Amino acid sequence: MANFIQGRQLRRLLYGEQVQKLAQTPPNSGSSATLFTVAGGMVLVTSLVGRVSTVLSGTTGAISLGATPTVGASGAQVAGIASATVVGGGEAGAAYAVAATIAGAPTTLANGGASAVAGKSPFLAQSAFIVQTGIITVTTSVATMTGAIDWYLTYVPLDNGASVS
């Protein structure tokens, strides 16, 4: 009898450890909320995907993803991972991923149905990026956005003992 590798095992081999944050409501306008905490050193984020779990209100609400390191405070960037992208009105099941530009820098959130790089799925075109010890944040652009997003992050620790929660 064949013993095939399981999906979760393959994901771990290809992308590293997975962390999930389910049913996260976007914060109020202009404010940031902690999405993930990086502890113990640097990590290589191999994927960062959000899937709408409860319909998002409005049509103009945008979110950006950033990083705030605990060392080198000047390195804090509200949109350092993904610039503001309209997600308002996102229906349940809509997925967004940190997409790569042609140069490979993660700069936007791409809708799962959209093309990020020359006809490729944004989930396949994703660029890995490094995050220092600190937090990964989500910031919104509208006063109130109701709804929720499930976030999935995969990473490989670069420093011994580094982790994401």
Q: Residue 138 has what pLDDT?
A: 92
Q: Residue 126 has what pLDDT?
A: 60
Q: Residue 117 has what pLDDT?
A: 40
* Nearest Cα residue to 45 out of 112, 97, 110, 86: 97
Distances in whole angstroms, Cα of residue 134 to Cα of each of 24, 66, 89, 119: 19, 11, 31, 34
DSSP code for 25: P
- Specify the 3-state DSSP secondary structure of 14: helix
Which amino acid is residue 154, in one-letter code?
T
| Confidence (pTM) | 0.84
Give, for all 165 residues of the chain, the pLDDT tens digit: 567 888 888 889 889 999 999 999 988 877 889 999 999 999 999 999 999 999 998 888 888 898 889 876 666 676 688 888 888 888 999 998 887 654 545 566 777 544 334 444 444 446 788 899 999 999 988 878 889 999 999 999 999 999 999
**Paired tokens of 71:** 């060392």
- Specify the 3-state DSSP secondary structure of 52: strand
**Paired tokens of 89:** 């009105």
Distances in whole angstroms, Cα of residue 72 to Cα of each of 67, 68, 75, 106, 134: 12, 9, 6, 21, 10
